[in-house]
Structure 1
Amino acid sequence: MKICKWALCAMGMISLNVVWGQRSLDTIYSNESKNVALFFPSPIRQAIVGNENFVFSYDREEAGYFGLLQGVEGVESNLLVITSNHQIYAFVLKYAKELSQLNHFVRKGDSIGKIGPAKESEVKEDSLIVGTSHYNMFCTSLLDRKPKDMVTKRKKGVRLRLEDMVYNGREVYLVFGIRNRSGIDFELDFLEVFRVNGSAKRRASYQEIPLEPIYGHNVPNKIKDGEMVRFVHVLPKFVLGDKERLKLVLEELHGNRRMELRR
């Protein structure tokens, strides 16, 4: 049954034009007494292990960003994970009585390839326009509202503000405002969003889970001196736990200005 499943999976990948990388796979160790957590940059769409000695559990109903791995002593195996943005991740699985690492944070650059439709030209252009139009209209309505101030950080003449956090369907809309009074234009490299659990002072329990935007509205490349810009990031729906917070990281391109904002 396992062989059949993997054969079907392999055939499906070939038909969907998977591009495989040539680098060696990372090895993850697990045992039967502890959960080993794998955190991905995008929600998990599908995951398969190659041997019954290992079990990888994840939320199949509400796609989540992490899964839990356990294993029993025996032959080594492998794990294949496909995320909602079609990225493919693969790992070698081995048993270890003692574990030195319980949390693995997978980066987008760790992907071995991407899976997609066999004929992209068959995707109807109208459907893409409708999806983008939906985000565009809702983002525009948010920016038409009077700015709020959920949390603000100022540093060296630059102000970063999280103005609003709005749930709409299966997405979360984050409204940002950046004002530059530093005397120098600010070129935006990136604005990253993380879910934070625990305290950085207690590294064993501290976790940062990146939240990857699926759409950006009016995101600037540069904020000129004296300019104020407002824009929106659209992310897959998430709900913060009682002990979780948001962390925002703003970094300058070709400069060393960096700001961190927590809520």
Structure 2
Amino acid sequence: MKKYISISIFLCGIAFAKAQTPIILDTIYANDQKNVALFFPEPIRQGITGAENFVFTYNREKQQYFGLLQATPGKESNLLVINQNGSIFSYIVRYSKQLSTLNYFIPKSSSIGNEKPIVADSIKVDTPKAAIDNQAYYYQKFCSYLIDRKQRIGRIKKRNEGIVLSIENIVFDKEELYFVIQIENKSSLDYDLNFLNFSVETRQKGKKKSLQTLLKEPVFKHNVPLKIKENETARMVYVLPKFSIGNDRRAILELNEKNGERDIQLKVSHRYINNPN
């Protein structure tokens, strides 16, 4: 479940990070022969590298104070770490065959800011409209980034009469799964979207085999169109609460056309749901 996000882009999506004088970032060196350990003052909630030749691993299920950095040869990148209390730490990361330091003990003073506002109660602050609902603002920024990124998780695709429905990416972030969905209209007729639903299908065991379907409601939808014109492509994101499924279950993405019959049911294996990026 790796995520590689440019820190410069990600910081734009955090409404209350420090926006003062430019910050000079420290550099951490790593390679593919040894683990470089980073110990933080608070448990790690999220860790992100900006390129695929750097990997930062940490315990996502039970938050701990340390993470491990490894690198393969390539251009320098960056590392963004957010602690449990919202403190943000940012570093330049580079590959090096020889490492002089294997353990970094990060003090609180190294934080470049906090994702939450720290404001005295007596001070009135004019809050931008986009920051009033912090969660929705975060969803919007992160969804926009995922659409622009065009990363793929595998070949999850189905077509019907010139309409192609595919899941381009599944990303785990905080407590949600982000499904990047693409609909291509390769036909000569416009496609009017009636609904696009997510559900989980369970195969019932026993002599009388049956299927039980449970609809899953997204907590946020981004860029969902009403119409997809001929020879055009629409990309959107559905945000669902984190879930996993056994090998006897599968996720179903159902596309339904308004006043038409070009409907698609795209089946998604448990291995994609349980191993997102």
Scaled by the length of structure 2, the TM-score of the pair is 0.47
Structure holding more helix per residue: 1
